[in-house]
């Protein structure tokens, strides 16, 4: 079954200096929730390589905690990806392991990017795919920010 994340460590220290600032997140885990082991973070995934500067991107915004860049295969007039700099595989991993401060910074960061892009009005869609059924291709947490036209249904009609 591969390594369990907590056996393997956070992976943060091994994905480069930009990702080391997050410290020991174990102290801030919310209590009373169900914890499941998740797959170890793949340090060679394409977004980890973008964060390390090994692969270029069309940057929209970067600060200490997040990076936002244009999707290479846009599905809307504006299609930007926002990622945390910490080594999290997906939304659930982030919810389980990130500190309250990291989660707040990420959510606020996504909204900040929406305003930077000038799409907060008339609006945009934020979406995060998780796992096989979610259609996730890149195993580093990211949200898609779509804008620039009316975006229609949330999922294809035939999928209900």
Q: Could you list the active site residues?
A: 142
Q: Shortest distance, CB of residue 18 to ligand 5GP, whole angstroms?
A: 17
Does 136 bind ligand 5GP (CB under 6 A)? Our answer is yes
Residues 42-71 that bind ligand 5GP (CB under 6 A): 46, 55, 57, 69-71
Distances (CA, A) of 90 to 6, 120, 135, 151: 15, 25, 12, 24
Does 159 bind ligand 5GP (CB under 6 A)? Our answer is no
Q: Which is nearer to ligand 5GP, 51 or 57 (CB)?
A: 57
Q: Strand 78-84's sheet: what is its strand order?
A: 59-62, 66-70, 78-84, 143-147, 124-127
Does 138 bind ligand 5GP (CB under 6 A)? Our answer is yes
Q: Which of 32, 137, 152, 153 binds ligand 5GP (CB under 6 A)?
A: 137
Phi, psi of 76 (to 5 degrees): -155, 165
| CA-CA-CA-CA torsion sign (115, 117, 118, 122) | negative
Does 24 bind ligand 5GP (CB under 6 A)? Our answer is no
| CA-CA-CA-CA torsion sign (2, 9, 89, 20) | negative
Binding site for ligand 5GP (CB under 6 A): 46, 55, 57, 69-73, 81, 129, 135-138
């Amino acid at each position: 079954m591969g390594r369990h994340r907590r056996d393997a460590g956070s992976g943060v220290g091994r994905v480069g200096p930009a990702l080391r600032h997050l410290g020991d997140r174990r102290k801030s885990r919310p209590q009373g929730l169900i914890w499941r082991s998740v797959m170890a973070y793949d340090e060679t995934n394409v977004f980890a390589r973008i964060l390390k500067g090994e692969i270029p991107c069309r940057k929209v915004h970067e600060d200490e905690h997040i990076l936002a860049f244009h999707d290479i295969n846009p599905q809307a007039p504006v299609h930007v990806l926002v990622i945390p700099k910490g080594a999290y595989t997906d939304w659930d991993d982030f919810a389980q392991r990130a500190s309250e401060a990291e989660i707040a910074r990420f959510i606020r960061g996504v909204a900040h990017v929406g305003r930077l892009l000038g799409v907060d009005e008339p609006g945009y869609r934020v979406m995060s795919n998780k796992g096989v059924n979610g259609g996730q291709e890149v195993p580093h947490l990211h949200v898609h920010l779509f804008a620039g036209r009316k975006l229609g249904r949330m999922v294809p009609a035939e999928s209900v």
